[in-house]
Amino acid sequence: MQPSEQKNTRARISTAALSEVQAATKAYWAVLEDSELSAASKSIYMDMADNFVRWLSGDFVPGSRKDPYPFRKKKKEDIAS
């Protein structure tokens, strides 16, 4: 089964544990915001943490996006193929 075909709506951890992880993730984001990392690095760190929390809650399947950069301008040779 391809990752995009997988569906999982069931959380991988208990509701109480998920609440603790979500609270810790918010604290992690606050630390990132106060850090000296570049805006792009902060965004990547936050997105990856958010995807992990979504995976724990059953709301994310890694590799499920067919076009991960839909708004990126495509090169002419990419469009022709």
Q: Which amino acid is at 32?
A: L
Query: Which 3-state string (H, E, C) describes the chain?
Result: CCHHHCCCCCCCCCHHHHHHHHHHHHHHHHHHHHCCCCHHHHHHHHHHHHHHHHHHCCCCCCCCCCCCCCCCCCCHHHHHC
**81 residues of the chain, pLDDT tens digit each:** 444 445 556 889 999 999 999 999 999 999 999 999 999 999 999 999 999 999 999 888 888 765 555 555 666 555 554
CB-based contact 56:18 (threshold 8 Å) = yes
Q: Which residue is listed with tokens 């792009």?
A: 40
